[in-house]
Amino acid sequence: MIRPEEIKIKIKFFLLEDLSPNILEIQDQLLFISEEVIIKLSPLIDLKYLISVLKNISKIEIIAVKNDVKEIVVFLSKNYSVEIICKCVNLESDEKGFSFEINAEKHSEAEYSEPEKFIYIPNNTILKAGIFNLISKEFKLKKLHPNTHLYTSDIKIEDFPGRILEMKVVDSKQIKKKGQFNLISKNYPLKPEEIKKKYQLKDGGNEYLIFTQSKKVK
């Protein structure tokens, strides 16, 4: 069994107190002036951090264009409810938006399975939201592995917010050299460029080749 190598990643955090103007200092004043305040932020901002420092959040929107997350929009309201609503939107795509209560992920559990007929790859707004178990629950899909955010089912779920691929399991020995594929590596020790070099593959074509791991289900 191939085990992913341990990778140390240095993460850069964007803090509201480092921006100008400092929203944390003026949020009370803004809400005094207006019933609702809308703040547009960098897509790199951490959602859990936002919720911990901003007051009266009623809604958060994660907005992507063609699967590239462009901005996080936060709505502050005087008449906010206790539960924050988050909406994931992928513009210039055929995908439907997905809305959920911000705490729903905490109360959701995913099922696991070996790959079935269809593989689902969440779009980047879903990945940014971190709702990996909720997606499994809401769309009745099974995850391949706790650390692999790929899903599977025997029946095609048309309104899934991401790509849907019909699949078959291929042993690495069956991969033909010089073949042309769109390469995806998830929870796997080799990056796409390394896979391409190892198996002498070319980019492109109509087929995807996914390198990943799945959880052995008893």
Give the per-residue pLDDT at 171.
81
Q: For residue range 16-43, list pLDDT tens digits in order.
A: 888 889 999 999 999 999 999 999 999 9
Give dist(CA 201, CA 194) in Å, integer. 10
* Residue percentage of the chain with pLDDT more than 70: 93
Give dist(CA 189, CA 88) in Å, integer. 30
Give dist(CA 28, CA 81) in Å, integer. 17
Give dist(CA 115, CA 175) in Å, integer. 18
